Each structure stands twice: as structure tokens, then as C-alpha cells.
């Protein structure tokens, strides 16, 4: 379940998401839940918070292993690498067509040093 606002209760979150944890696991989840609510307090970070909460609950319910999480991270990195390659080549071609480094940085949503590195300027 994706939360539109900050959830307020770990027990309620578990119930709403269909998790039935042991008492010890529920206590661990409550601690983790509170840490995540604090860590990801900015609404822009809610997707990360929600994913982390779901992962914590799944791990504590013995539905997710660290190996599974590592594989998911590897897949995400692969997608990010592909996206970066696409942004790089289009940025370089756009700059050849006259776009400034600043314009490329903004459009590609990367920092200035990334664009400079793409151009071999380090």
C-alpha cells in the first residue's frame, strides 16, 4: 500500500497491509517503522519510505531475504545505468547541436560535473 501521508501507527500499517507478525517481529517492525517515518519525513521521500516499510515487514514475515533485496537492487541499478546511457548520448548530441552544458544538465536532471565528465572535461 502506498501511503499519501506519513503513517502514524505501525500496528495499523501492518494490519492494513495484511501482515501478521510474531510479537517479537512486531516490536522490531515498530522500531523500524518509527525510524523510517523520521528518516523519510519529506513527502518527496515517501516512495522510499513506503518501499522500506514494505521490505521490513516482508523480511520480518520471512517473505524477503537479503539476497532478494540485493537482486532487486541489482536490477534497479541496471535500469539506472541504461537510463544514464540514454541521457548521456542525448545530452552529448544536444550539446553538439548547440545546447549549453547548463541546459543539458537541467534537461537531463544531472549535476554539472556529470555533464562535464560526459564531455571528457572532468
Verify that 18 and 32 share a domain, yes or no: yes
Look at residue 2 and tell me if it is in a domain.
no
Q: According to the model, what pLDDT value does residue 122 have?
A: 76
Structural domain boundaries enclosing 104: 67-118
Query: How many domains does the structure of the chain reveal?
Result: 2
Look at residue 4 and tell me if it is in a domain.
no
Residue 39 confidence (pLDDT) above 90: yes
Verify that 77 and 31 share a domain, yes or no: no
Query: Based on the number of CB atoms within 10 Å of its own CB, is 107 exposed (0-12), middle (13-18) or buried (19 or more)?
Result: middle
- The pTM is what? 0.74
Query: What mean pLDDT is reported for the chain?
Result: 94
Verify that 15 and 60 share a domain, yes or no: yes
- Taking residues 51-76, report their average pLDDT: 97
> Alpha helix locations (H) across 1-122?
10-16, 23-39, 46-60, 66-96, 101-108, 112-118
Verify that 82 and 47 share a domain, yes or no: no
Residue 83 confidence (pLDDT) above 60: yes
Residue 3 confidence (pLDDT) above 70: no
Residue 111 confidence (pLDDT) above 80: yes
Query: Based on the number of CB atoms within 10 Å of its own CB, is 64 exposed (0-12), middle (13-18) or buried (19 or more)?
Result: middle
Task: Name residue, grid cell 536490477.
Answer: 75
Q: According to the model, what pLDDT value does residue 5 have?
A: 57
Residue 6's pLDDT band (cuts 50, 70, 90) = low
- Taking residues 80-87, report their average pLDDT: 96
Verify that 78 and 54 share a domain, yes or no: no
Amino acid at each position: 500500500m502506498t501511503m499519501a501521508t506519513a503513517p502514524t501507527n505501525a500496528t495499523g500499517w501492518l494490519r492494513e497491509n495484511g501482515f501478521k507478525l510474531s510479537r517479537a517481529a512486531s516490536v522490531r517492525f515498530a522500531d523500524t517503522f518509527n525510524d523510517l517515518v523520521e528518516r523519510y519525513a519529506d513527502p518527496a521521500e515517501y516512495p522510499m519510505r513506503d518501499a522500506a516499510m514494505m521490505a521490513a515487514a516482508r523480511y520480518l514475515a520471512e517473505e524477503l531475504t537479503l539476497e532478494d533485496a540485493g537482486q532487486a537492487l541489482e536490477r534497479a541499478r541496471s535500469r539506472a545505468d541504461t537510463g544514464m546511457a540514454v541521457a548521456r548520448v542525448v545530452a552529448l548530441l544536444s550539446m553538439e547541436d548547440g545546447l549549453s552544458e547548463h541546459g543539458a544538465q537541467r534537461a537531463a536532471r544531472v549535476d554539472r560535473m556529470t555533464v562535464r565528465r560526459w564531455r571528457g572535461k572532468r
